[in-house]
Amino acid sequence: MRILHIGKYYPPYLGGMETVLRNLTEGLLDRSCEVTVLTAGDEPLDRRETVVGPSSGRKGRLVRASVYGHLNSQPLTLTLMSLIRCEIAQLKPDLVHLHLPNPLATAAWLGVVAGRSTDTPPLAVWYHADITRQRVGRFLVQPIVNACLKQSAGISVSSETLAARSPTLAPWRDKVSVIPFGIDSSPWDQVAPTLDGPFLFVGRLVPYKGLDVLLDALSRVPEAELVIVGEGPLESRLVKQAAAAGITDRVHFAGPMDQAGVAGHLARARALVLPSVDASETFGLVQLEAMAAGVPVIASDLATGVREVGEPGRTCLLVPPGEAAAWADAMNSLQDDPELVGKLGIAGRHRFQDRFTRESMLDRLLDWYSSMVSTHPGEAS
């Protein structure tokens, strides 16, 4: 099968959508698919690279579109429409897979298909999240998102919660399929966690991640230490908060890291913490990395896919979001009970292996692809 993915960014950019796109791309190449990925780049020239399936060595193409600036974190990719046309002509994909939210890519796709008939490949949409924090932006882009979803052959989401609760998806729920995220286990399954070290946070230092709540909680757990992996606009504010609380000696800001660096910190961690405070956290992909490594998770009990990843009391602890006292209680329970830490970690690894491997995601994904291609003019290759 020939597949064209259209995403916002591709690694080495760090983020959940980027990690998902890499896992899909590499996994599909290993399943003998022909894959081209089209995303924004980081310079004012289009750039073409090679991506490789790690098991098969099969090669695919990565096209990074030229970027001339940013607007509300959206890369301005002025060549995107022409690149989509070019890649469709060159690859002749059986299916185009568009990853949302990505307003300019959505508009570019609609521009490409405007006025075309059955020669357009079917469109699959992976709907990663609602736009929740940019109200004006959401109002402006909603009509093109609606038009894209209406035109799509199918829509996938990572959780039952997003499928049921998203107001944007409400008119199209008959098109929605739930395909839980899965990741390649190989960077994590060789981790032998000690489970008696610091708590570990991995992610961007932005408001919805709830790091201010986490530092407040840490100040109430006298023996605990915390490592923060990531970067973002709140770093200086968080450093000042730690100093004001007198916990500077127990908080280490480690900066951004690649997979190997994160795996090293997971090996030494007591538990991964995910203290996000609102629905911008739709899944928490880092939970899967911790579970694959055998490290327990403490997460906010958000009304999103976050609560579908683990099993409270068996693989993780869930805490009311934004409640520092409750977070302190959960952290204390793992600080004081190494046996519980070990049990949660072992059960989490088993749950990952049963439900969240890349292979299980790809099995569902290819079945979904086939169902759309089979009802569209033409045959899959």
pLDDT at 134: 55
DSSP state of 206: S
Among the ranges given (129-133, 141-145, 271-275), the one the predictor scored with the smallest mean pLDDT: 129-133
64 and 210 assigned to the same domain? no
Fill in the amino acid letter for 99. H
> Tens of pLDDT along 357-366?
999 999 999 9
88 and 134 assigned to the same domain? yes
Instruction: Evaluate if residue 115 carries a pLDDT over 80.
Output: no
Q: What is the mean pLDDT of residues 315-323?
A: 97
The three-state secondary structure class of 288 is helix
Instruction: Give the model's confidence band at 136: pLDDT under 50 very low, under 70 low, under 90 confident, else very high.
Output: very low
271 domain-assigned = yes
380 domain-assigned = no
> Tens of pLDDT along 249-307?
999 999 999 999 999 999 999 999 999 999 889 999 999 999 999 999 999 999 999 99
Instruction: Evaluate if residue 135 carries a pLDDT over 60.
Output: no
Q: Which of 279, 262, 276 is nearest to 167 (CA)?
A: 279
pLDDT at 379: 43
122 and 143 assigned to the same domain? yes
pLDDT at 14: 82
pLDDT at 114: 85
Instruction: Evaluate if residue 41 carries a pLDDT over 70.
Output: yes
In the block, residue with structure tokens 């060159």: 90
203 and 328 assigned to the same domain? yes
166 and 294 assigned to the same domain? no
pLDDT at 253: 98
DSSP state of 378: S
Q: What is the DSSP string of 56-112?
A: T--EEEEEEE----EETTEE--TTHHHHHHHHHHHH--SEEEEEES-HHHHHHHHHH
161 and 204 assigned to the same domain? no
328 and 253 assigned to the same domain? yes
337 and 261 assigned to the same domain? yes
> Tens of pLDDT along 66-84?
998 887 778 888 899 999 9
pLDDT at 141: 84
191 domain-assigned = no
pLDDT at 70: 81
How high is the mean pLDDT of the chain?
93
pLDDT at 171: 96
pLDDT at 310: 96
30 and 105 assigned to the same domain? yes
Q: How far, CA to CA in Å, does 332 sit from each of 6, 121, 184, 254, 329?
A: 44, 54, 32, 23, 5
193 domain-assigned = no
Q: What is the mean pLDDT of residues 341-350?
A: 97
User: How is residue 74 written in tokens?
Assistant: 């959206």
29 domain-assigned = yes
pLDDT at 380: 40
H-helix segments, the chain:
16-30, 80-91, 103-113, 135-151, 160-165, 211-218, 235-244, 259-268, 286-292, 306-309, 324-335, 338-355, 358-374
pLDDT at 231: 95
288 and 168 assigned to the same domain? no
189 domain-assigned = no
- State how many domains the chain has: 2
Instruction: Evaluate if residue 137 carries a pLDDT over 80.
Output: no
User: How is residue 39 written in tokens?
Assistant: 């995303």
> Tens of pLDDT along 205-264?
999 999 999 999 999 999 999 999 999 999 999 999 999 999 999 999 999 999 999 999
How many degrees, rounded to 5, is the angle at CA 301 between CA 232 and CA 176? 90
pLDDT at 118: 59
Q: Domain of residue 9: give its range.
A: 2-184+358-374
Instruction: Give the model's confidence band at 381: pLDDT under 50 very low, under 70 low, under 90 confident, else very high.
Output: very low
- How much is the pTM? 0.90
Q: Domain containing 327 — which CATH number?
A: 3.40.50.2000
Tell me the backbone φ, ψ of residue 133, rounded to 5 degrees: -105, -10
379 domain-assigned = no
How many degrees, rounded to 5, is the angle at CA 347 between CA 354 and CA 126? 40
CA atoms within 13 A on the CB side of 99: 23
Q: What is the mean pLDDT of residues 100-121?
A: 86
174 and 246 assigned to the same domain? no
Percent of the chain with pLDDT over 70: 96
Q: What is the mean pLDDT of residues 18-36?
A: 96
49 domain-assigned = yes
pLDDT at 249: 97
167 and 316 assigned to the same domain? no
- Enumerate the β-bridge partners of residue 228: 201, 253
pLDDT at 2: 97
234 within 8 A of 304, measured Cβ to Cβ: no
